[in-house]
């Protein structure tokens, strides 16, 4: 009995496409070996390989065994990713960017609940503070939307928060939502109740230490009241295609010229006043002597 034909889709590699062999200079292996963050998957049907490649490639045109396809990215629930070590590995020099490597192939997504809106977010800065950006990917029943934006000077945490805010703002009615973020600051503050506690204390973390980014936390918690939201942490730069896409969007946005100011940050209106700051403020106003 003849062996069944196999097809190999390479979404990230030296040359992207669908290959009908693994080994050899014209095989898929040659396209993935030595490529940092290679992304590929094996299929028994060519049509499935092409569909997967469409879903996992950001380029609008990709060579498919002599054919040409185009279309926006529509990510499927799971894929395999190989990450290579070697000369392609870069040191992480800032919050945005640098992929890491582990040399492991693995399935990275669990099947998504079709009744929930899935939102992937990322944000960061070139320097902290510095030019910053955020990226968002929303998915629901086969529909997909990307959102991004940037500011001339801001912080990593503010962009992480703003990504979540902009994702929730895009929803037109109350929804059940899962937000995937690689920010422990955001995920833990919501899921562990820290942000609600800061809010109940007049946005004070402790008796003497104010919470930061109050302007954004207020907006995010208000949106969480409107929707049923669950926050889940996902490791950054670890092969999650949508997280990496958000990182790309954030990078591109941060690098844009003429980004607007983050007014609250630049005018230092991102936290509550401490008691001593408030007393100094009203003294300067002449309320007390």
Residues labelled as active-site residues: 122-123, 160, 182, 237, 247
pLDDT in tens, 56-82: 754 433 333 333 222 233 332 322 333
Beta bridge partners of 18: 9
Intervals of the chain under pLDDT 70: 1-3, 57-114, 272-289
Q: Tell me, what's the pLDDT at 113?
A: 58
DSSP assignment of 18-71, as one string? EES-SSSTTSHHHHHTT-TT-EEEEESSHHHHHHHHHHT---S-EEETTEEE--
Query: Distance of CA 5 to CAs 38, 45, 144, 185, 208, Å?
Result: 23, 8, 32, 47, 68
Which two structure tokens, joined as six digits, stand for 136?
């968002």
Q: Tell me, what's the pLDDT at 64?
A: 36
pLDDT in tens, 78-122: 223 333 333 433 333 344 433 332 222 222 334 455 689 999 999
**Residue 229 and residue 101: Cα distance in Å, rounded?**
31
SS3 for 123? strand
Surface-to-core class of residue 21, CB atoms within 10 Å of its CB (0-12 exposed, 13-18 middle, 19+ buried): middle
Residue 91 has what DSSP assignment?
-
Helices within 183-240 (DSSP H only): 184-191, 194-200, 214-226
Q: Tell me, what's the pLDDT at 84?
A: 35
Q: Tell me, what's the pLDDT at 155?
A: 96
Q: Tell me, what's the pLDDT at 97?
A: 39
Q: Are 85 and 34 in contact (CB under 8 A)?
A: no
């Amino acid at each position: 009995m003849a062996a069944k034909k196999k097809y190999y889709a390479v979404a990230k590699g030296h040359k992207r496409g669908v290959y009908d062999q693994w080994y050899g200079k014209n095989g898929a292996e040659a396209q993935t070996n030595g490529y940092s963050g290679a992304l590929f998957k094996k299929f028994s049907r060519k049509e499935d390989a092409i569909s997967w490649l469409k879903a996992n490639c950001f380029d609008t045109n990709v060579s498919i065994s002599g054919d040409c396809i185009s279309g926006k990215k529509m990510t499927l629930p799971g894929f395999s990713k190989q990450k290579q070590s070697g000369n392609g590995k870069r040191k992480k020099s800032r919050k945005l960017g640098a992929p890491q490597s582990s040399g492991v192939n693995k399935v990275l997504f669990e099947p998504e609940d079709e009744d929930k809106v899935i939102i992937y977010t990322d944000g960061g800065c070139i320097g902290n503070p510095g030019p910053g950006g955020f990226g968002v990917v929303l998915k629901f029943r086969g529909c997909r939307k990307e959102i991004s934006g940037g500011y001339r000077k801001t912080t990593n945490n503010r962009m992480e928060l703003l990504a979540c805010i902009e994702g929730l703002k895009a929803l037109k009615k109350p929804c059940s939502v899962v937000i995937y973020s690689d920010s422990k600051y955001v995920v833990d503050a919501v899921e562990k109740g820290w942000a609600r506690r800061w809010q109940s204390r007049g946005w004070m973390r402790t008796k003497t230490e104010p919470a930061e980014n109050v302007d954004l936390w207020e907006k995010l918690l208000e949106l969480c009241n409107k929707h049923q939201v669950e926050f889940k942490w996902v490791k950054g730069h670890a092969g999650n295609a949508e997280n990496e896409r958000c990182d790309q969007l954030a990078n591109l946005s941060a690098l844009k010229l003429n980004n607007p100011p983050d007014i609250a940050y630049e005018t230092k209106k991102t936290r509550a006043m401490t008691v001593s700051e408030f007393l100094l403020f009203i003294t300067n106003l002449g309320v007390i002597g």
